[in-house]
Amino acid sequence: MTDIQKQLVVFDFDWSMADQDTDRWIFEVLAIDLRRKMEKNQDRIQWTDLVAQMLQDAHAKGITKGQILNALRVMPFHPAMVRAVTKLKSGGKTTFLCLSNANSVFISTILEARGLTSLFDEIITNPATWEESGLLKLRRRVDPDGPQHSCHVGCSPNMCKGEELEAFLSRKGERFDRVSYVGDGSNDFCPILRFRSQDTVFCRKHRGLERRIAKEGEKQGLKCQVKYWEEAWEIEEYFGQL
């Protein structure tokens, strides 16, 4: 398809837009004992709940709001990614959506530090808020005590990215000529199963999404084009063709 009037670009955040995992990074920078505790408990406690618990432990240790914000601001984020999205946005035909299992504070802080505050039309993620005490309070997007999502493809309990993408498209009420998805993790598999043949997933190599595409793509009826990348400069190159 060459006559593209309107397109949607969907980004995962950790290891897709940013060059790190936000949840793990702050503890690697500020409290490696808590990072080790995460490692030991990640198969026992739902991930968002675990991060929330580690944030409480960090607060109890005296780690401040300022320290967390500073750690986020210096997290690796490739200049080529900034150039890629900024140039594509300036073309006027691209809407950007973020679908992430990180949280609202982590993402907004990093985007602000990189001058990308106005990039996304929506950021769909787990809600987080600062309390007066300096504690960052994190909750699942899908409340564990309320109605749950109906995903059968393997999304984590806090959010089904496929259902969230469909809900976004319904809210927008627009038809996009092309949809592209930049992702890396196994939970990025569900939304791309909704894609058409003219759509594209930009899959980061050597991570969970690549493995799921190889193992389940054909069986699950994946229709979209798949393009692989390792470093942000390759996304800049790809985006130059959109």
43 has catalytic annotation: no
- 21 is known to lie in a ligand binding site: no
Residue linked to tokens 């991570």: 207
Residue linked to tokens 């959109």: 242
12 has catalytic annotation: yes
Contacts of residue 184, defined as CB under 8 A and 6 or more positions apart, other chains included, come to 12, 14, 15, 16, 203, 204, 207, 208, 209
Integer Cα distance of 130 and 119 in angstroms: 23
Token pair, residue 19, equals 């060059």
Instruction: Give the active site residue among 14, 23, 188, 199.
Output: 14
Q: What CATH number matches the domain at 7-20+78-239, 3.40.1160.10, 3.90.180.10, 3.40.50.1000, 3.30.70.20?
A: 3.40.50.1000
Integer Cα distance of 215 and 200 in angstroms: 18
Instruction: Give the active site residue among 12, 23, 188, 199.
Output: 12
Tell me the pLDDT of the chain (242 aa) as tens digits: 468 899 999 999 999 999 999 999 999 999 999 999 999 999 999 999 999 999 999 999 999 999 999 999 999 999 999 999 999 999 999 999 999 999 999 999 999 999 999 999 999 999 999 999 999 999 999 988 889 999 989 899 999 999 999 999 999 998 999 999 999 999 999 999 999 999 999 999 999 999 999 999 999 999 999 999 999 999 999 999 99
Please say whether the dihedral angle defined by the alpha carbons of residues 180, 204, 84 and 126, taken in this order, is positive or negative: positive
Domain ranges of the chain: 7-20+78-239, 24-73
- 23 is known to lie in a ligand binding site: no
Coil vs helix vs strand at 219: coil
Integer Cα distance of 15 and 162 in angstroms: 19
Coil vs helix vs strand at 108: helix
pTM of the model: 0.96
